[in-house]
Amino acid sequence: MKPAAFTYHRPASLDEVLALFAKYGDDAKLLAGGQSMGPMMNLRMVQPEHIIDISRIEGYDEIKVEGGNLVVGALARHHDVANSSLVKDSCPVLAQAAGTVGHYAIRQRGTLGGSLAHADPAAQLPLVAVLLNADIEVTSAAETRSIPARDFFVSIMTTALEPDQMVTNVKFPCIVLGEGWGFHLFTRRAGDFAIVTVAATVTLDGNGKVSDLRLVLGGTGPVPMALLDLAEAFKGRLPDVEWVNELTNAAAKATDPDDDPRIPAEYRRDLVRTLLARALADCVSRCQEGQI
């Protein structure tokens, strides 16, 4: 299908973008990589009156480390995030996740800010942002402020963004030495939307017990689920088989996924158990090997 007609704007600077966005608000959509909005427009699921093309705004695709955070510009493309040595060294779970988004050609154009603002419940990058509770910097003509990722995702394809705000940068806390991480997803075919995605980080103390634990599940609800209370309850123990079994069962039980005839709720819960066990095993082995 073909998209509906729209008025095209390609402002040269962020200030001009924000002025247009302030003017048109809900009638305008930002276009960056177009890998989610393109299909939605072609299928006429969205018919914006104004398209503001931000893909050539300079300075918002940078990747840098600043004071314990990996700062990634909203226009950074998934392929560049996945292959950046800075990302691999300082926040490898993000690099791993970015390399699983869609397909090779899709990752060349899709952007971090686009993925976060689109907020597909199956998407990988919102999941990592929630895992690490990244600071999402949003900018409007009036102000720039940060929203913690755990407050940013409101519901399916719904975020805390106001109609005139755009995501400009994202600060991911770096994975530190001694912190193990894991990321696993299941898709029916390579590059499909994942049915379930999980990510975790584990830190072990001198006695080999879990001193810190972060968990997040995707595909089990409208937004990535951080399971904060559950993670707290499973600290202080050795990460043995029993711990993994109890934790993965508790995590599966904490979810209430859609009971779709094609993907029954129990199937998603089973995927949670399996994928989380794999992710936790990766976390623990990375901790023990002392690799980031």
Q: Give the footprint of other proteins on this chain (CB under 8 A).
A: 1-8, 10, 31, 34-35, 38-39, 42-43, 51, 53, 55, 79, 102-106, 108-109, 189-191
Residue (5 or 177) nearer to other proteins, CB: 5
Closer by beta carbon to other proteins, 102 or else 224:
102
Of 103 and 145, CB closest to other proteins: 103
Tell me how far, at minimum, the Cβ of 113 lies from other proteins, in Å. Answer: 17
Q: Please report how close the Cβ of residue 45 comes to other proteins at its closest, in angstroms.
A: 10
SS3 184: strand
Alpha-carbon gap, residue 176 to 197, rounded angstroms: 23
Instruction: Sort strands 50-53 and 7-9 into parallel, antiparallel or unpaired.
Output: parallel
Taking the complex as a whole, the smallest distance from the CB of residue 104 to other proteins amounts, in Å, to 4
Nearer to other proteins, 107 or 268 (CB): 107
In the complex, the smallest distance separating the C-beta of residue 212 from other proteins, rounded to whole angstroms, is: 33
Q: Which is nearer to other proteins, 8 or 154 (CB)?
A: 8
Nearest to 281 by CA among 183, 176, 187: 183
Question: Please, are residues 236 and 223 in contact by the beta-carbon 8 Å criterion?
Answer: no
| CB 279 to other proteins: min, Å | 20
Place of tokens 């929203």: 147
* H or E element at residue 73: strand 69-73
Joined tokens for residue 151: 């407050």
| CA diameter of the chain | 64
Residue (of 49, 46, 48, 85) closest to 65 by Cα position: 85
